[in-house]
Structure 1
Amino acid sequence: AGDLAGLDEEGVKAFLTVAVDEVFQTKVEELEKKALADGRPPMSLARSANYITLVSMDNAWSDHLQNMENLKEAVLLRKYQNLNPVDEYKNEAFNLFQGLQDKMRFNSIFSLWQSFVAAPSNVPQN
């Protein structure tokens, strides 16, 4: 915490990025060694990460499609407020898409973190 005291926002981001990357790389190396010791093929961790990311993106995309349907209905009501529905749809859809991208990033990183980094490494196997 003392290392962060004199840093501005960008400095804190850079510090945390390096710290998280170091923890993640250490955990990845540890899990790859364990996978090889257990007889699993190399790169099984990368395949698992790809799967987790794909599932996170798919879930976010499904939610986004539902949000777009809801937006379509909501925008039609705005014509009664003398607003241009096409312009309203464009603006709101753009905001929803930015939210989709943020949600995909967050969910993927959170799921990977939960699966690989936060997972206890000394859990006995049955």
Structure 2
Amino acid sequence: MAEPGTGAKVVARFNRHLLDAGLGELRRQLAYKTVWYGSALIVLDRNEPTASKCSKCRERNPSSKPSDKHFTCPHCGHDVSRRDNSVRNIYQTARRQLSTSVAPGTEDTQNALRGGDPPLVGNGSGPPPMTGPLPP
């Protein structure tokens, strides 16, 4: 049996670090903390084509490769950084999900707080207060 190539070793190391990062735990904590504050956690579908869809005309470019630094739409000619295109697509998808699930037809969807205070949770004390210096 042949030894795996250098690329396989790099991918294996990346996957090991990714699993160690505890992304599932992060998502779990975000889910319960959004309930504390009356916010909405928006989770995009894993198969959402954020990198291969044009953020301007919404057409998909199947020939777009993950290694490309720029995204060029073959339909409308929109040329933008691949990262900026992905960010815009994620933002637009999140806005669509938020507008259909929280308060359709209104602009007052930010945190959905009634009266500005987070809802009381558990023993009525709400989330624990932040202590220490603020992160940079």
Q: What is the TM-score when the length of structure 2 is the normalising length?
A: 0.31
Give the alignment's TM-score, normalised by structure 1.
Answer: 0.33
Between the two structures, name the one with larger relative contact order (CA 8 Å, sep ≥ 6).
Answer: 1
